[in-house]
């Protein structure tokens, strides 16, 4: 895995552990590491902002103990600022908060940074207008465009978000990154690449496959 995907010029593939077998998380992570993913994506859900509950700082810390991989924490929670320090302590390298819960996103980004987070990202749901994040772009290191309604892995990719990704890409600086999350697999990854996405988050497209290494190789092949 790469130590920091911000330093990589080419497309990066992140494995979302949401679809991993949590009874053997360390082995699952080792397998996708050997299989060639670039970093890990951790989906934190609070049962309030999204209808599902996943995990929090404890599993993030356990993940940290099992790998040196870059940990990209996606906060699908109503109060991201309140928990930012806990996730920093748990070993998060990057944190992404939702615009839907941040009325003053520049302030939220600043507070998450003050909590010690090195890389701060902003994300938006498929139903949220892209213009809402424009004023915050200067304050963040990366932008995550959701290509499913957040809450569960294994949902169908929503191609209608691609123009949004393109609109964001046009406004990003060279040192910022564009990430996409939801329904990414061999059949959809290319469309996302073609609008300028840098980082591709994949849960079921890797962990639900019999041969994970082959699935990762196939994703990479489609990016060429």
Both structure tokens of 217: 């190789």
Which listed option, Zn ion, ligand DX5, none, makes contact with residue 35 (CB within 5 to 8 Å by class)?
Answer: none
Contacting positions for ligand DX5 (CB under 6 A): 16, 18-19, 41, 43, 74, 148, 150-155, 181-184, 201-205
Which listed option, Zn ion, ligand DX5, none, makes contact with residue 73 (CB within 5 to 8 Å by class)?
Answer: none
Which listed option, Zn ion, ligand DX5, none, makes contact with residue 153 (CB within 5 to 8 Å by class)?
Answer: ligand DX5
Given a contact cutoff of 8 angstroms between Cβ atoms, the answer to whether 57 and 87 are in contact is yes
Comparing CB distances to Zn ion, the nearer of 181 and 198 is 181
Comparing CB distances to ligand DX5, the nearer of 178 and 184 is 184
Q: Is residue 179 a contact point for Zn ion (CB under 5 A)?
A: no
Comparing CB distances to Zn ion, the nearer of 138 and 153 is 153
Q: Is residue 142 a contact point for Zn ion (CB under 5 A)?
A: no
DSSP 53: B
Question: 175 catalytic, yes or no?
Answer: no
In this structure, the number of other CB atoms found within 10 A of the CB of residue 29 comes to: 21
Which of 42, 49, 71, 74 forms a contact with Zn ion (CB under 5 A)?
74
Catalytic residue, candidates 33, 38, 72, 181: 181
Comparing CB distances to ligand DX5, the nearer of 47 and 135 is 47
Which listed option, Zn ion, ligand DX5, none, makes contact with residue 140 (CB within 5 to 8 Å by class)?
Answer: none
In this structure, the number of other CB atoms found within 10 A of the CB of residue 53 comes to: 12
Q: Which alpha helices (H) appear in the chain, and where do they start and end? A: 25-35, 57-66, 80-90, 105-114, 162-171, 189-194, 204-207, 212-223
Q: CA-to-CA distance for 201 and 148, rounded, in angstroms?
A: 12
Q: Is residue 38 a contact point for Zn ion (CB under 5 A)?
A: no
Backbone torsion region of residue 91, taken as left when φ is above 0, otherwise alpha when ψ lies between -120 and 50, otherwise beta: left
DSSP 185: S
Catalytic residue, candidates 33, 43, 46, 72: 43
3-state secondary structure of 69: coil
- Give the distance, in angstroms, between the CA of residue 169 and the centroid of all CA atoms in the same chain: 16
Which listed option, ligand DX5, Zn ion, none, makes contact with residue 182 (CB within 5 to 8 Å by class)?
Answer: ligand DX5
Comparing CB distances to ligand DX5, the nearer of 21 and 138 is 21
Number of H helices, E strands in the chain: 8, 8
* Binding site residues, Zn ion, CB under 5 A: 43, 74, 181
Active site residues: 43, 181
């Amino acid at each position: 895995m790469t130590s920091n995907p911000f330093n990589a010029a080419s497309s990066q593939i992140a494995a979302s552990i949401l679809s991993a077998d949590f009874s053997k998380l360390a082995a699952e992570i080792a397998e996708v590491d050997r299989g060639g993913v670039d970093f890990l994506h951790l989906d934190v859900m609070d049962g309030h902002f999204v209808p599902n509950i996943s995990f929090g700082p404890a599993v993030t810390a356990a993940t940290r103990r099992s790998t040196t991989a870059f940990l990209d924490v996606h906060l699908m929670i109503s109060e991201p600022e309140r928990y930012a320090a806990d996730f920093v302590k748990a070993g998060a390298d990057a944190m992404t908060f939702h615009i839907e819960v941040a009325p003053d996103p520049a302030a939220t980004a600043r507070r998450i940074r003050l909590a010690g987070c090195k890389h701060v990202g902003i994300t938006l749901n498929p139903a949220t207008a892209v213009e809402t994040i424009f004023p915050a772009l200067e304050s963040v290191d990366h932008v995550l465009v959701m290509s499913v309604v957040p809450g569960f892995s294994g949902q169908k990719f929503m191609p209608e978000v691609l123009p949004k990704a393109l609109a964001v890409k046009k406004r990003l600086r060279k040192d910022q990154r564009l990430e996409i999350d939801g329904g990414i697999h061999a059949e959809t990854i290319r469309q996302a690449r073609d609008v300028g996405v840098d980082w591709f988050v994949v849960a079921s497209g890797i962990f639900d496959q019999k041969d994970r290494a082959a699935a990762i190789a196939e994703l990479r092949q489609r990016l060429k």
